[in-house]
Chains A and B, each alone.
Chain A
Amino acid sequence: KQEVTQIPAALSVPEGENLVLNCSFTDSAIYNLQWFRQDPGKGLTSLLLIQSSQREQTSGRLNASLDKSSGRSTLYIAASQPGDSATYLCAGSGNTGKLIFGQGTTLQVKP
C-alpha cells in the first residue's frame, strides 16, 4: 500500500531564500506525483504534475523532481516570497488514478 511522507511538517524561512520541500513514497510503481498548494480554509491548487516517465517539471519559480528508484520527490522554490506562505502537499497516484496524500509542509516566508 502506497504511503506518502513529507518532512518537515513546518518550515520558516526569510524572504528571498531558495528552499526545498521533500516528499517520499513507498511504492515505486507510481503513475504520477502531484504537488499542490493549500491556503488556510481553502481548497487545493495544483502546482505541478510529474509523470512516471519524467524527471522534473518547472513552472515559474517552482521546480519539481521525481526519482522513482529512491522513492523521492522534491519541490524547489526559488527566491521565496511572503505570498508563497501556504501548506504544500504532495500526492502519488497509481494506475487507478487515486491520489495518496502526504500530510503536508506548512511554509512561512517572513518579510
Chain B
Amino acid sequence: DVKVTQSSRYLVKRTGEKVFLECVQDMDHENMFWYRQDPGLGLRLIYFSYDVKMKEKGDIPEGYSVSREKKERFSLILESASTNQTSMYLCASSPVLGYQPQHFGDGTRLSIL
C-alpha cells in the first residue's frame, strides 16, 4: 500500500515564525501535492511538484513556498506565518498525472497564534 506520511498531526506556531511542514511518500511517485482544507471552502491546491526540483503554483500559493530536493519528500514552507494560515494541511502523491488516484496523508492541523 502507498504510504504518505506527514511529519506532524498537530502543530502550534506563532505569527511571524517560519514554519516547515514535511511530507514523505514511499512509492516512488513523481507527483506530489499540498492542499489546505477549511470549513466552507473545501480543499484547495497550494502547490504541486511533478519532479524533483520542479514546482507549480496551485490556486492559493500566496504566503507559501515549497521544496522538493528528493523525490520522496515534499516540504511546504510558510515564510512568515499569519493567523489566516491556521488550517488543516494535506499532502498527496500520485504516480501519473490524471490517470492514477492521488494518495493522501493524514493531515497536519496547524494553528497560528
Chain A residues at the B interface, C-beta cutoff of 8 Å: 31-32, 34, 36, 41-46, 49, 51, 89, 91, 93-99, 101-104
Contacts and interface: CB of A to CB of B under 8 A. Distances in A.
The dominant DSSP class at the B interface is strand
B102 interface: yes
A46 B97 CA distance: 15
B48 to A, nearest CB: 7
A102 B31 CA distance: 22
Given A43-B4, A102-B42, 13 more contacts: A41-B107, A41-B109, A42-B106, A44-B104, A46-B101, A46-B104, A89-B42, A93-B98, A94-B98, A95-B98, A97-B50, A99-B102, A101-B42
Contact of A99 (B40, B45, B50): B45
Interface of B: 4, 6, 31, 33, 40, 42-45, 48, 50, 58, 90, 92, 94, 97-107, 109
B29 to A, nearest CB: 11
Contact of B105 (A43, A94, A101): A43
